[in-house]
Amino acid sequence: EDAVPGGASRILCAVEPGLDGNRFNDAKCDAAGRLWAGTMSTAREPDVAGLYRVDPDGACARVLDGTTISNGLGWSGDGERCFFIDSTTQRIDVFDFDLAAGTLSGRRPFAAIAPGDGLPDGLAVDAEDGVWVALFGGGALRRYDRDGRLDVVVALPVTNPTCPVFGGPRRDVLLVTTARHRLTPAQAAREPLAGSVLAVRAGVRGGPVHRFAG
């Protein structure tokens, strides 16, 4: 939905009728101002979700089929690559991206994550095309360089980080959302910051952030 003056809203895109166990998850805008949003199965039912593109004129297209938990999204600085996570694959994938057409092609693995290290969740791309990913259940952030090599691991004081985003006046602070759900009472007591937003000095600036052009 899109907010309009007076506090009302209008529906931009309605998808997946009849799939009551699905909901939208992560969403971001590309450099042309299109909104990209993925859906997920709350029951982890395989292959029933997808990735959608909403154009500035409100047209909506399903651009990727067969996902389970659509998650992190981001683009390289030159706009020629798009990074995407379907969490249950335990991978970050990368596509070739055509900015003019708003299309994806050439899907391939960018980085693989062992199940014991956590579930790949949200991601952020920095100004050097490094990809930062939150590991839900793994208590950490990881940075993969532009070639997909792991080069930074940041241990966090919570088990379930969910999504990083660059913020601060210089966009050099990673703001990391975290979750409390699925923690036992004993775990929650050991993790008083669970459910908080954490700030991590990244040592690198974030890439550009784009607004919806509709």
> What's the CA gap between 81 and 73, in Å, rounded?
11
What 3-state DSSP class applies to 170?
coil
Please, are residues 135 and 142 in contact by the beta-carbon 8 Å criterion? yes
57 is catalytic: no
> What's the CA gap between 95 and 106, in Å, rounded?
5
> How far is C-alpha 179 from the chain's CA centre?
15
Burial class of 138 by CB neighbour count within 10 A (0 to 12, 13 to 18, 19+): buried
Options 55, 86, 121, 129, the catalytic residue:
121
Q: Any idea which residues carry the catalytic annotation? A: 121
